[in-house]
Structure 1
Amino acid sequence: MQRLLTDHKNITETRLETVPSELLGSGQARLKLSSFALTSNNVTYAASGFAIGYWHFFPTGIEGQGLVPVWGTAEVVESNSDDLAVGTLLYGFYPLAEELVITPQSDGHGGFVDAVAHRAELPAVYNRYTPVRAGDADQDHIRALLQPLLATSYLLFDWLMDNDCFGAKQIIIGSASSKTGLGLCKYLAEPEGREYKIIGLTSEGNRDFVQGLGACDQVLTYDEIAQLPSEDSVYVDMSGNAQVKAQVHSTLGAHLKHSSAVGISHWDQFQPQVVLEGVKPQFFFAPAQIAKRREEWAPGVIEKQITQAWKRLAKDASSWLDVQVHGGIGQAADVYDALASGSANPRDGHVIRLSVD
C-alpha cells in the first residue's frame, strides 16, 4: 500500500512510501480509494495539523511525518463487519494513501462512522462515511472537489446571516479566487434585497477570474487594499496571509467589526504573532456552526441545506472549474506542491484517480 507522507514542520516536504497493508481485526473493513480531490483546503489541513487536530485522524507511526486528509470515494474491498458489505462505495474523509482500515458503525441515518478509539474525540463531521452509488466518475470528482469547500462556504454564509453580518455594510473576502472564497461570494450574492456589499480581494493575476464570477460588487487586488471604502465591515480571511490581514485591519480601523480566519492556503506568510489594529481575529470552525444548528434545529436540517447549497452552485461549475484528473498516487506530490506553493491555477480542480472504471 502506498501513501504520501508530509513533514509536520515543513509541509512542502513529501515522500511516497510503500508499507504493508494493515491486517483486519474483528468488526473492521478495508477501504480502497478510487479517487480523491486535492485543493488549497488540504494545504490548510496540513498547516493547521496540530492547532486543529488534522494530523490526529490518520496516525503514521513515524515521528514528524503525517498523512494529509483528503475527501474522496473508496470501495469496501474486505470486511469483517456485519454492517458494511464488500462492494459498498463510501464518500468521506481519507488519508492521502491508497487505502484505509476503519471500524464501521451505523450512524442511524444510512451512513457510517469510524468508531476507532483515536477518532472518538475528533469532530464528528470528519468521521462520517456516506454510501454513494456506482456510476459516473465525473460525479465522484465534482463531489470530492466541491462538497467540502462549498459546505464551508455555505456555513460561513449561514454564520454571517446568523450574526446579522455583525452590523457590517460590506463583507470583504480575502483570497476570493479560492473555491471556498468564490463559494462564499456566490452565496452572499443570492439573497434579494441584500443590504451589504461584497468585496473580493485577490492577486492581480486572478482579478479577471474573480470578476468573471459575477458575484462581487467590487474586486480589489492586494495592492489596492488602501482603496477599501471606509464603511463598517467584516473581513473573512481565506488565506492566512498576515501582511494582507494587517493592511485590511489598519485601513479599516474602527470600521472593521469582525475579522474571521478560515483557511491558511498562504501558510508561508502566516505569522500568528503579528500585532493587528482593532478587533482580534477569530478562527471560524465549520463543525462548530454545524453543531450549533443541530442544537437549534432538528438533526439533519443543516445537512440538508448544505447539500442543496453545494449542488446548486455545482450546476454551473463548468463555467468556473476545469477538472484535471491525474492517474495514480504518485502524481499527488506534484499537485500538492503546486497548491502549497500557490502556483496552481484557480480554475483548476485536481483529482487523483487510483482506479480505472
Structure 2
Amino acid sequence: MSIKLPPTETVTIGTLEPKVGFARRTLRTQAFQILLVLLAIVTIFSFLAPDTFAQWSNFRLIIQNASILAVLGVGMAYVIITAGIDLSIGSVLVFSGVISAIVMREMGGQGWGVAAVGVLVAVGSGLAWGLLNGFLIAKAKIPPLIVTLGSLGMALGLAQIITGGVDIREVPAVLTQSIGYGNVFGTVPTISVIALVVVVIGAIVLAFTKFGLYTLAVGSSEVAARRVGVKVDRQLIKIYAMSGALAGLAGILSLSQFSTTAIAGQSQTNLNVIAAVVIGGTSLFGGVGTIIGTVVGLFIPAVLQNGFVINGVQPFWQQVAVGAVLIIAVYVDQLRRSAALRGNTQSLWRRLLGPGNSS
C-alpha cells in the first residue's frame, strides 16, 4: 500500500520498518520468550523432583493431557488472530461428544464402522455450531463475545437436556483401546499423534496459504482487507466453522480418552485454551499469532499442574500462576504494539518531511 504525495512522490508503508536479522527477530518473539519460561519451569520441577517429574513416563502424561487442548488451540488461534473470540468450544466439545455417544450407542457394536460414524457425527456437530457462530458474527454483525457466550450456554444446556445431566459411558472399545489408550511406536500416545497432525496442518495453512494470509489480513484491518478484495464475511464464517469442527474432533478424542462424555468436566476448557493462545504470542487485538506459540502456551498450565501435584503444592496455585502469566503476556503485547506504532509513525514522518526536517 502506498501514500500518494503531490506531485509524484510516494511512500511505501511496507518498507518503513527497519530490517532485522532472523536471529534477533526470533529472540524478540513472544513465543520464543514463553518457550524460555517453559524450559525454566521444567528445569525447576526437574531439580525439585528428579525421580518423578524428570521421567519420560511423566512427560508422556503431560503431553497426553495437553493434546485435546492443542486441537482446540489451533481453532482458537485462528479466531483470536481475527480479533475475535470463541467462548463456546468447551460446550461444543461436550455437545459433540454427547451426540456422538448416543449415535454409537443406538447403532450398537464395538467395531471401527460404528466408531467412524461417531467421529463424523462429532465433527459434524461441532461444525454446525461453528457455522452458526460464524454466520451470526459475519452476517448479523453481532459481537463474537455475545454470540459465543450464547452458544456456550445453548450447547451445554442442550447436552444436559438430552442426557438428563447423566454422563453416557457406553463407548466403543475400539475408540478407547486404539485412540484413548493406544500408542504409536509403543511409547507415543495415539491421541497426541492426532493432535500433532492437527497442529502441523494448522501451522502450515496459517504460514503458507492464502487462507492464512487472509486470516492475518482480517485481523490486522478488516476495512483494509475488504478494500483489497478479501471476502471478509466468508473468511470469518470459515474460521468459526473450523473452530467448531475442531471442537467436535476434541469431543470424540475426549470421549476416547475418558470413556465418558464428562459433561461437568469442561467448565474451564475455553478459558484455559484462550489463556494458552494469548500466552503463546497471539494478540487479542488481532493480526498477529502463530500455532507453534499456541502449543508452547498450552504446556505452561499443563506443566504447572503436573509439577504442583508431584511436589505436593495445592493445584489451585496453577490458576494463580497462569493468570499472572496471562496478564503479563497481554501487557507485553500492548507494549510491543505501542512501540511498533510509534516507530512506524516516526519513520513515516521522516520520509514525508525529508532529510533535515524531522524536527
TM-score interval w.r.t. the shorter chain? under 0.3
More helix by share: 2
State TM-score, norm by structure 1: 0.27
State TM-score, norm by structure 2: 0.27
